[in-house]
Amino acid sequence: MTDDDDPAAEPRLPLYLRVKRDIAARVAAGTWGTDGRLPSEHELTAAFGVSRMTVHRALRELSAEGIVSRVQGVGTFAMERRPRQEFLRIHDIAEDITARGHRHHMALIALEAVRALPPQALGFQLRPGSKIFHSTVLHFEDDVPVQLEDRFVSPRFAPGYLEADLTAQTTARYLLSLGPATEVEHTAYAMTPSAPIRRLLELGPGDDPACLVLLRRTWSNGIPATQSEFIHPGSRYSLGSQSSTLPSG
């Protein structure tokens, strides 16, 4: 395997990005204590053995992404990273279906390594063309298809993904066993499915022509972990959330 084939090696990754990733990982791990104050640029320059310009760029991008906060004349501080799970929790569809008293089964359509397109590479903090993992799974409730899952997975987070037995366990269950999702981003919208998607979901002329799509990105301790698309027949599935609030007064 060459270095180009192994995203974990990334020997030609720009120095500032390596420094940026290292600082982000330390922020996620709480390395800099309760006040979250990072070492000065001068101290970071010496610690990483790089130029001050490299450290400055890394901190500038981390600040723009909300990972650190830079206070002029005071210093740089780790920002509190809060999981964005207000809309939906991460769950295993098999458990949901079983809890309703129905039978879950699934069909594994694809499990492969692919080259990351530029938008995917950006999301996973990799070079375009780096290897990532891809899977497509069709989920059934009893014998009715209710979800088409298309998932991209970072080899850094799940190096053994291609060897996992995804016919015996769902992708969600396998990935959650590797580590928690410490940050989650959800987007939902309606779409008119293509002919291949209609065939997979067994949508007939009398079914609702729209599908409900959920896009999810997850991070685990600062590392981009997954980018997933879940497509549901509009007439067979709904999404919801629940929260509790303290009574006022």
Mean pLDDT per 10-residue run, the chain (249 residues)?
40 80 84 78 92 91 79 77 46 83 93 92 88 96 93 95 92 89 86 91 80 90 91 70 39
pLDDT at 242: 46
pLDDT at 208: 66
Residues of the chain with CATH 1.10.10.10: 3-78
Instruction: For the domain covering 3-78, report its CATH number.
Output: 1.10.10.10
pLDDT at 60: 87
pLDDT at 140: 94
Q: At the top level of CATH, which class does the domain 93-233 belong to?
A: alpha beta
206 within 8 A of 198, measured Cβ to Cβ:
no
Residue 41 identity? E
pLDDT at 5: 39
* Residues in the chain, overall count: 249
Residues of the chain with CATH 3.40.1410.10: 93-233
pLDDT at 204: 83
Bridge partners, 68 (sequence order): 78
Backbone angles phi, psi at 46, to 5 degrees: -70, -40
pLDDT at 34: 57
HSE, side-chain direction, 13 A CA sphere, residue 214:
21
Taking each continuous run of H as one helix and of E as one strand, the counts in the chain are 7, 8
pTM of the model: 0.62
pLDDT at 16: 87
